[in-house]
Amino acid sequence: MSDLPEKSLFRVVGTRPIRPDGVDKVTGKAAFGADIHLPGMVIGKILRSPHPHARIVSIDTRKARALPGVKALVTADDFPDLPDVDFEAGEGAATLRDIAHNVMARGKVLYDGHAVAAVAAISPWICDEALALIEVKYEVLPHVIEVEAAMAADAPILNENQVTQGLGAKPDTPSNIAKRTVLNRGDLEAGFAEADMIVEGRYRTQPVHQGYIEPHACAASMSADGQGEVWSSSQGQFVIRALCAKLMGAEMADIKVTPAEIGGGFGGKTTVYLEPVALALSKQCGAPVKMTMTRDEVFRATGPTSGGVIEVKLGAKKDGTLVAAQVELKYQAGAFPGSPVGAACMTALACYDIPNFLITGWDVITNTPKVAAYRAPGAPAAAFGVESAMDELAERLGIDPIVLREKNGVRDGVKASYGPTFKDIGFQETLAAAKAHPHYSAPLAPGVGRGVAAGFWFNIGGESTAAVHITEDGSAVVVSGNPDIGGSRASMAMMAAEVLGLAVEKVRPIVGDTASIGYSMLTGGSRTTFATGMAVTQAAEKVVAELKVRAARTWDVAEDNVAWRDGEAICLDPAKDNKPLSLAALAGHTGKTGGPISAEVSLNAQGAGPGFGVHICDVEVDGETGNVTVLRYTAVQDVGRAIHPAYVEGQLQGGAVQGIGWALNEEYVFGDDGRMQNSGFLDYRMPVASDLPMIDTVLVEVPNPRHPFGAKGVGEVPIVPPLAAVANAVRAATGIRMMELPISPPKMRAALDAVAQAAE
Amino acid sequence: MPRVVIASSDALELTGGVAEFDVEADTVARMIRELDGRYPGLGEEIERRMAVAINGEIHQDAWMEALPDDAEIVLIPKIGGG
C-alpha cells in the first residue's frame, strides 16, 4: 500500500520533544493580540446594535466627534460598498458584501451585537463616553431566531434580495432559506421496504461558540501613503491581509500582517471582525489603533456554529445490515448565508456503506451572529442525530454498538456517501481498537451508562509555503506562514530535523509575517501538519541536495558520490579516504563553496487522507439535580502517523472536551427580545478541568501514503463523536434518549420527572 | 474517456439536472473548460465552489492534476474546516 519508510527508521518523527514556543507561553512572555503596544497608539471600540433586526434610519456622530480625546469615528460610510461576489479566503461560503456588512452594518442591523460605528480615543473610558454620544435611530423590525421559524412562509425576511438556491426553478419570492443541498443514492423507498427494523428521530442542537480563551484583538496602523500594518491574533495572516485589503479598497502588497500568538481559534478566527475597523480608524487619525473585544462582544458578535434540527430515519435488516437512510438537516447560518450544512450533508452518513439514502440540507439565515467555522464544521450535529439513531438501532436489534458499526462501516473500496471511493482509510482499524480497549469491556457500576459513537472528517491540504535556512554554525531556521495553534512549530521543526539529520533542538521554527514568507492558506481544516509539513519537508530535501553538492565540491568528487546520512555527508568514492562532513562543517564555509544555503518551497498539497474516530463514554446521572457526570472517556482515532504524539493526543483530548461541553452545557440562550442572555463564561458553561476525567486516547496509525511521513489531519475528527457518545451513555444510564442538546441539568431533570410521572 | 459525476445537487441547476458526463479531457483544467463549454457557468461554479475527487483522492484548485482514462472523477462541494 505504501512506500513510506518504516516508522522505526525515524529519529525525530514520532518522538515527544518540548515545544519550542513553550517557555514563552508558560512564563507570559509570548505576545498575543492584546499585548501589542505601539508608539502613539490609541484605543478603538465598537458601538453595537441592541436590536436583533432593525433598519438604521440615521446615525448622528457630531457629539461623539466633538468629545475631547476622540481621534476618529467610522461607520459603514467609511468603507467601500462592495459587490455581492464570492470571496475565496478563509473558511466557508461568503461574499465580500456579506463580510463587509458583518464587520460594519450598512442599512440594517441583523443581530444583537452587530457593529454600527466605531471610535478611537486616547483612553478606553473616553471611547465608552463617545460611544454613548452616538445617536442611532432604529426602525425596529420583527426578528427570528429559531431555524424552523425562519423557514416558515410568514417569517420576517432578513434579506429581501435573497431567494432559495437549489430548488430547481428560481423562486420569485424572497426567503430566509439561502440554499437547499441534496445528496442521494439508490432507491430510498425500496430500501426502507427491505428493512426489518426502522428507527426515526428528530434531534436538535443550539448554537455553540468556539470558546477560545483569547478574545479577538488587533493593532493596526495606516500611513498617509496608504500603507498599512496589522498585528492580529488569527488563524491566518494572509486571510487577514486579503480581507483587510478588500474591505479597505487597498492593494494586498500595501498591507503587512504580523501574526500574534493565538489563544485558540478552532475555526472562529478565520475571518475579520476588528482588523479593517482598526485600519479605518488609524487611516482617519494617523495613529496606530488597538482594539480588543470583551467576552460579551465575542459571544454576541463573532461566529458561533449553527444550531439546527436533524431528522434521521435508518432502516436495517435483522442482522444489522443498513439498507436505507434519510437525513434532513436544517442549520442556522446566522445573519448571512453560509452555514456548514453542506459539509454536514457530506459527513452525515460518511462512516457507513448504505445502498439507498437521501440527505437534504437547508442553509437558513436568522437574526443571530453569522456563524463561523468550528472544528469539523457541520459534522458534530449531523453525527449527533445519526450516531444516536445507530445506537437506537443497535439496542433494538440486540447488537453490540461497535459490532453494528463494524458491519456497516466503510473500508477501502467503498464509495463514500459524498461520492468518491475511499482508499487508505482506517475506520475498521479504529473500531477494532475501540472494541479491544479495556474501557469498552470494563464492568459498569450500578447507575452508570456507557455510550459509543463514531465520527468522520475529510481533512484538506492546500497552498503552503515554507523555507529552511542553514545558519553559519550549522543549525537551521524553518519559516512557515501558518500561525501555531496546536503545536505546529514543533511538528515543522521535527520534520525538518528528520530530513536534515539534525537534533530537533537545532532547528528553530518561525511563523513569518506576510512580507517575509510566501502565501499560505490559514491554519485550519487540519491542514498545517499535512500541507505545510509537506512544504517544510521538500524545502529540507532541497537543502540536503545542496549540502551534498557542497560536500562534493569540498572533496572534489562527483555529486553522485556523496550520500547524506544522519546529518553528515558521506563520501562514496572508493578512491578517496574522506571523513564524513557534518552539517556544521559544511555550513562553516558556505562562502567558499557557493554561498548561503537555504530553500523555499511553495505548493498546493493534495492527498490529505480522511480521518475517523470512535469515542467511548461512561456517565452517571444525578437523579436529584439532573447533572450528568462523565466518569471515563476514551477517544480512539486513525491519525495516519503521529509526528508529535503528545500534540496529537492533545488534539483528541481538546476536541473531546469541546464536544462534551456541546453535549452537556453549552448553548446560546436568546430572550424573547432576540438578545443573547448568557454572553459570559459564568452563564455560558464550558467544561473546565475539574468537570472531567483525564481523556484517554488511542492513536491508530494507518499511514497516509501521500505525506512524506504518513501524516493525516487530526484536529477536526475528535469533536464529531462526543455529542452522541455522551447522549448514548445517558440513554444507557437512564433509559432516556435525549434528543435535544445540551443535556443540561434542568433538561435532564425534566426528562427524569416526565418518565417518573408516566410510570405513576 | 473519463466519466465525471456531480455528487450533490449544488451544480445541477446549471446542467438541467444532468449529473454524469463523459469528458475528452486529460487534466482538471481541460475538464473544467470542456464542461463550461457544454453548460455555461458550470466552469466558474466548479472553480469557485467545488473540489475534484480523482480515484478517491480529493483535489482542491488543482488544474494540472491528470485525469487517467478510466478514472473515477467526482465533483463535490469544496471542503474547509475549523
A242-253 tens-digit pLDDT: 999 999 999 999
| Chain B residue with Cα closest to A236 | B82
Spatial neighbors of A466 by CB under 8 A, at least 6 apart, are: A478, A479, A480, A481, A492, A517, A532, A535, A536, A539, A600, A601
Using CA atoms of A387, A388, A389, A392 in order, give the dihedral in degrees to the nearest 10: 120
pLDDT band at A90, cuts 50/70/90? low
Q: B64 to chain A: nearest residue by CA?
A: A604
Contacts of A694 (CB under 8 A, 6+ apart): none
Chain A nearest CA to B56, separation (Å): 5
Residue contact A527–B56, C-beta within 8 A: no
Asked if pLDDT for residue A91 goes beyond 70, the answer is no
The per-residue pLDDT for A89 is 57
Q: Is residue B66 scored above 70 in pLDDT?
A: yes
CA dist A265 and A488 (Å) reads: 14
Q: Which sequence positions of A are flagged as catalytic?
A: 716
* Domain-terminating residue out of A605, A631, A651: A605
- At residue A36 the predicted structure's pLDDT band, cuts being 50, 70 and 90, is very high
Residue B39 in domain:
yes
Of residues B17, B76, B82, nearest to A418 (C-beta): B76
Collect all residues of chain A within an 8 Å Cβ-Cβ radius of residue B8: 181-183, 342, 345-346, 418-419
Domain total for chain A?
A: 2
Interface contact A376-B5, CB threshold 8 A: no
For residues A471 and A591, membership in a common domain is answered with yes
List the single residue in A with minimal CA-CA distance to B15: A168
A705 in any annotated domain: yes
CB contact under 8 A, B81 and A373: yes
A598 and A505 belong to one structural domain? yes
The answer to whether position A221 is within a domain reads no
* Residue A669 lies inside a defined structural domain of this protein: yes
Strand partners, A423: none
Residues B23-35, mean pLDDT to the nearest whole number: 96
d(CA A311, CA A385): 7
Kindly state whether residues A598 and A632 are assigned to the same domain.
Answer: no
For residue A94, name the pLDDT band (cuts at 50, 70, 90).
confident
Interface of B with A (CB under 8 A): 5, 7-10, 13, 17, 48-49, 53, 55-62, 65, 72, 74-77, 79-82
CB contact under 8 A, A604 and B76: no
Looking at chain B, the whole-number percentage of residues with pLDDT higher than 90 is: 80
Mark yes or no for CB contact A346/B53 under 8 Å.
no
3-class SS of residue A374: coil
Q: What is the mean pLDDT of chain B?
A: 93
Decide if A633 is inside a domain.
yes
Contacts of B48 in chain A (CB under 8 A): 86, 88
Given A605, A629, A646, the domain boundary residue is A605
Note whether B9 contacts A421, CB cutoff 8 Å: no
Tell me which residue has cell 537534533.
A503
Residue-number span of the structural domain to which A513 is assigned: 7-29+461-605
Q: Is B35 inside any structural domain? A: yes
Tell if the CB–CB gap between A524 and B49 is shorter than 8 Å. Answer: no
CB A633 within 8 A of CB A471: no
Residues of A in contact with B52 (CB under 8 A): none
Q: Is the Cβ pair B53, A606 closer than 8 Å?
A: no
Q: Which helix (H) or strand (E) holds B57?
A: strand B57-59
How far, in Å, CA of A202 to CA of A220, rounded?
47
Q: What is the pLDDT of residues A435-466, one digit of tens each?
A: 999 999 999 999 999 999 999 999 999 999 99
pLDDT tens, position by position, A317-332: 999 999 999 999 999 9
- Determine whether the interchain pair A419/B62 forms a contact, defined as Cβ–Cβ distance below 8 Å: no
**What's the one-letter identity of residue A587?**
A
Candidates A418, A424, A707, partner chain B, best to mutate (most B CBs within 10 A): A418
Residue of B17, B74, B81 lying closest to A525 (CB–CB): B81
pLDDT tens digit sequence for A193-229: 999 999 999 999 999 999 999 999 999 999 989 999 9
Structural domain count, chain B: 1
Q: Which residues of B touch A659 (CB under 8 A)?
A: none
Please name the residue that has the C-alpha cell 452587530. A114
Q: Please determine, for residue A746, whether its predicted confidence score (pLDDT) is greater than 80.
A: yes
Asked if A644 and A698 sit in the same domain, the reply is yes
CA distance A25 to chain B (A): 23
A660 and A725 share a domain?
A: yes
Q: Which chain A residues contact residue B57 at CB under 8 A?
A: 420, 423, 606-607, 706
Binary contact (A376, B82; C-beta < 8 A): yes
pLDDT by residue (tens digit) across A470-487?
Answer: 999 999 999 999 999 989
Query: What is the spatial distance between Cα A719 and Cα A347, in angstroms, rounded to a whole number?
Result: 13
A285-294 pLDDT, tens per residue? 999 999 999 9
Question: Nearest chain B Cα to A609, which residue?
Answer: B57
What residues of chain A lie within 8 A of the CB of B5, using their CB? 419
Q: How far apart are CA A591 and CA A444, in angstroms?
A: 69
Residues A608 and A712: their CA atoms lie apart, in Å, by: 6
**What is the interface size between A and B, counted as CB pairs within 8 Å?**
118
Residues A575 and A648 in one domain: no
The CATH number of the domain holding residue A572 is 3.30.365.10
**Position A627: which residue type?**
N
Q: How much is the average pLDDT of B8-25?
A: 92
Span A340-349, average pLDDT: 97
Residue B9 lies in a domain: yes
Write down the pLDDT at residue A92. 61
pLDDT for A406 beyond 70: yes
Q: Does residue A518 sit within a domain? A: yes
* Contact across the interface for A346 and B76, Cβ inside 8 Å: yes
pLDDT above 80: residue B33: yes
- Claim to verify: residue A714 and residue A689 sit in the same structural domain: yes
Q: Are residues A652 and A736 in the same domain?
A: yes
Task: State which of A605, A639, A665 marks the end of a domain.
Answer: A605
SS3 A391: helix
* CATH code for position B11: 3.10.20.30
Residues A684, B51 contacting (CB under 8 angstroms):
no
The verdict on A582 and A683 lying in the same domain is: no
Set of cell numbers at residue B65: 492534476
Residues in A touching B10 (Cβ below 8 Å): 166, 181, 342
Q: Do residue A615 and residue A746 come from a single domain? A: yes
Average model confidence (pLDDT) for chain A? 96
Q: Are A472 and A461 in contact (CB under 8 A)?
A: no
Residue A1 pLDDT exceeds 50: no
The answer as to whether B45 is a domain residue is yes
Are residues A473 and A587 part of one domain?
A: yes
Cα–Cα distance for residue pair A567/A498, rounded to 1 Å: 9
Residue A73, amino acid: L
Residue B82 lies in a domain: no
Cα gap A131→A73, rounded to integer Å: 9
Element (H, E) at A646: helix A645-664
| Residue B60 counted as domain residue | yes
Instruction: Quickly tell me which residue has 467545488 as its cell.
Output: B50
In chain A, residues with a C-beta closer than 8 Å to the C-beta of B49 are: 86, 93
- pLDDT of amino acid A86: 82
- Give percent of chain A with pLDDT exceeding 90: 96
A614 and A716 co-located in one domain? yes
* pLDDT higher at A410 or A8: A410
Cβ separation B82–A374 shorter than 8 A: yes
Lowest-pLDDT choice from A310-319, A688-697, B62-71: B62-71
Overall average pLDDT of the A519-540 stretch: 96
Chain B partners within 8 Å of A422 (Cβ): 56
On whether the CB atoms of residues A620 and A656 are closer than 8 A, the answer is no
Whether A294 is in a domain gets the answer no
SS3 per-residue string spanning A334-360: ECCCCCCHHHHHHHHCCCECCCCEEEE
Give the gap in angstroms from C-alpha A178 to the nearest C-alpha of chain B: 12
What is the extent of the structural domain holding B29?
3-77
A597 to chain B nearest CA, in Å?
30
